[in-house]
Structure 1
Amino acid sequence: MDANFRGKWVSFQCKSTITTVAKEVGVTPALIHNHYPEIADKIRPPKKSNNQKQQVQIDSLERENAKLRDEQVTLKAKIAKLATQNEVLIIENAELKKAAKSKVVDINR
């Protein structure tokens, strides 16, 4: 590897892709991959380990779970309110039926 390539590599160390580094130094990306794999490895971003991927999934599922628990609390409160309203309506309906029954006169007599 020539000195020109090494000097330019320093400025790209943290933010570049293999293609951009290759263009900057005037070579093909394949040359970097095939002849300088250690440099290609340094250019590539570090891969997340399985544990990190699993932790990301766990965090995502925990956030979704929290949202669902909040929604469950809200829905339980709505159910309780509707159950109360339903009981009130059942009582009113029974009273209206009782009042209507006592006022009905049979006209066939």
Structure 2
Amino acid sequence: MVEDELFVAMLVEDMLGDLGCTIVGLASSAAEAESAARTAVIDFALLDVNLDGETSFAAADILRDRKIPFVFITGYGEQGVRGDLRDAPVLSKPIDPRHLARAVGAIERD
């Protein structure tokens, strides 16, 4: 999971735990996100778009190249996502647990 706000990360971790998911790592900066995207062994990723003035788009590019699914989380809606990445699912903040469950379910079915 990529999230620079600790409180949000803790909330999402709880929601994912309720869905039977395990967080294997937390990145809180664009650089950490890119590093994890290159090396982490994961089923999918949740990427906060805005990371203290930077974005998670480079990490998304790496994940896409590795064929690892990801979901963006943003307070800006789809318009906050780079145009060529808008085919990825986008969850709005604050995150609705039902929407998160649907996004995770869709990833698991693919």
Structure holding more strand per residue: 2
Larger radius of gyration: 1
Higher RCO (CA < 8 A, seq sep 6+) = 2
TM-score when normalising by structure 1 = 0.20
TM-score when normalising by structure 2 = 0.20
Structure holding more helix per residue: 1
